[in-house]
Amino acid sequence: MADARSQPNDTSFEQLDLSSRALLHMLSWFAPDPIPVAVWQTHAADAGIFSGATLLATEGALTDAGTALAKLSRRGLVEWEADRSAFRVDTSLQEVTRARLDPAVAARSLRDALSVIHDYLREGPPPHDVRSWPRWTLLGVHAARLVAHADPRPEQHGESTSTTRLMGALAQWYRARNRPAEAEPLMRRALAIDEREYGSEHTRLTANLNNLAQLLQATNRLAEAEPLMRRALAISEQAHGAEHPRVAVHLNNLASLFQATNRTWAAEPLMQRALAISEQAHGAEHPRVTVHLNNLAELFKDTNRLAQAEQLMRRALAISEHSHGAEHPRIAVHLNNLASLFRDTNRLAEAEPLMLRALTIDERSYGAEHPSVACRLNNLAQLLQDTKRLTEAETLMLRALAIDERHYGAEHPAVARDLSNLAHLLQATNRPEQAEPLLRRAVAIDEVTHGAEHPEVAADLENLAQVLVALNRRAEAEPLLCRAVASLRTSLGDDHPDTLAVAEKHRRLRLAMPQ
């Protein structure tokens, strides 16, 4: 027999006051999972949320929400968790409630539910920031259920904007958690809804286009990503003019794609133009200019113009120190970039103090267990490995791996990076048998994340092949190197330095094998 709580009769509904009824209407669209009370305690006053009530202050909204929730609880219409930090609404009750709603009330209550969740999630850090994940872990299931209810014909309910905003945020969280297969359909659906609502040339589409393009780029579908980036750039130029700061953002995104596909000759003028636009719009010493300086510096570094790269990196660091102070997290990014350049040019004594300073800044800013700290630990560990301080390096690598696994889970690309770094150290200390399972795990993670033909996967395969050679298993190593070469030729081209280097390793291995 069904629980009486889940089968209220007409009298039960009619006995609810307007605020309690409005709250129940909204809750009927949520998932049957625990709903944090904090969602209702922090939502600002909005006369549309509790229909029939005149709310003039935030305190009034809080009181009304709390009172309405208490009344639903007394009637057995919600079930509290043990610590009373969250409550549930029975699935049957939700279904009965939704079935009773006329179309206008259904539309309003769904729109209000979307707004409540979106506004609560928006109060914290963005979805890609791990500090927002406790909220998203609790509310992601509700966000997914709400957009599923709203998605089929959002224009009928007038909530297309609320729907696509929440879709976009949910997709970004999925992507940050390395769930691209769940993120992509949300991104595509949000784009389709906004195109229908605003037209194919509206500036609102540019964020949708870029988010989808970056996901496609991350999953090695570069040919699909490029036209989306070009379209976003064209829309922005048409709407804002060729010298607008938003155009600079799209230029940088497209340039990044060109750089990833070994078209540095095409990327550089876009980066130069983006930098000029930003300097003109904000001034040469504005913090926003540093993004463009760093992007161009990385391109100069990749094309062996190291003195020019260093000059831009130092300028970016100086601007940020002047703007934010010496201990701001942005400073750690610039220090890391400059230290990486020093490490790559064998200036290890100059690189180490910068890495230590970056690590200290991030530990103070985020705490010792933040993924940004894990990134700094990895960089410092590799420098320690370069300078033969292997025990210290291994300790830092293990700490970084533990941080990333705790925050991201075991199947995230950041974890694959940590596993590869640790495996490289294990191989360098004559422990190839311990390195092998780590690299196989890294290959599996990166294949799921990026696709089987991505350069990251090729690097994993190359590293695994080297370990197998060290274990005297050349017959197993050869097909891995063969596959790595094929992937790099597809992704980067036949003449890319990485392709040529791995192809040479493959050639030498084949020569060393019995014919």
Q: 122-169 pLDDT, tens per residue?
A: 887 889 888 888 899 999 999 999 999 886 654 554 456 778 889 999
The predicted model gives 38-46 an average pLDDT of 60
Q: Look at residue 55 and tell me whether its pLDDT is greater than 50.
A: no
What is the full DSSP assignment across 394-457? HHHHHHHHHHHHHHH-TT-HHHHHHHHHHHHHHHHTT-HHHHHHHHHHHHHHHHHHH-TTSHHH
> What residues contact residue 470 under an 8 Å CB cut-off, 6+ apart?
427, 432
Q: Could you tell me whether strands 35-36 and 86-88 are parallel, antiparallel, or unpaired per DSSP bridges?
A: antiparallel
- Residue 358: which pLDDT band, with cuts at 50, 70 and 90? very high
What is the full DSSP assignment across 318-335? HHHHHHH-TTSHHHHHHH
The predicted model gives 19-26 an average pLDDT of 87
pLDDT score, position 118: 87
The predicted model gives 22-43 an average pLDDT of 86
Q: Looking at residue 106, what DSSP letter applies?
A: H
The predicted model gives 104-115 an average pLDDT of 87
Query: How many whole angstroms separate alpha carbon 222 and alpha carbon 511?
Result: 34
Query: How many whole angstroms separate alpha carbon 484 and alpha carbon 502?
Result: 7
Residue 88's DSSP bridge partners are: 79
Residue identified by tokens 């770094």 is 421
Superfamily of domain 416-515: Tetratricopeptide repeat domain (1.25.40.10)
Q: What is the dihedral of CA 424, 429, 432, 438, to 10 degrees?
A: -40
Q: What is 328-408's CATH number? A: 1.25.40.10
Is the pTM of the predicted complex or chain greater than 0.85? no
Q: What is the C-alpha R_g of the chain?
A: 27
Query: How many whole angstroms separate alpha carbon 451 and alpha carbon 120?
Result: 34
- Give, rounded to a whole angstrom, the gap between the first and last alpha carbons of the chain: 75
Span(s) in the chain for CATH 1.25.40.10: 328-408, 416-515
Q: 58-102 pLDDT, tens per residue?
A: 333 334 677 888 888 888 888 999 988 899 999 999 999 999 888
Query: How many whole angstroms separate alpha carbon 248 and alpha carbon 434?
Result: 46
Cα maximum dimension of the chain: 87
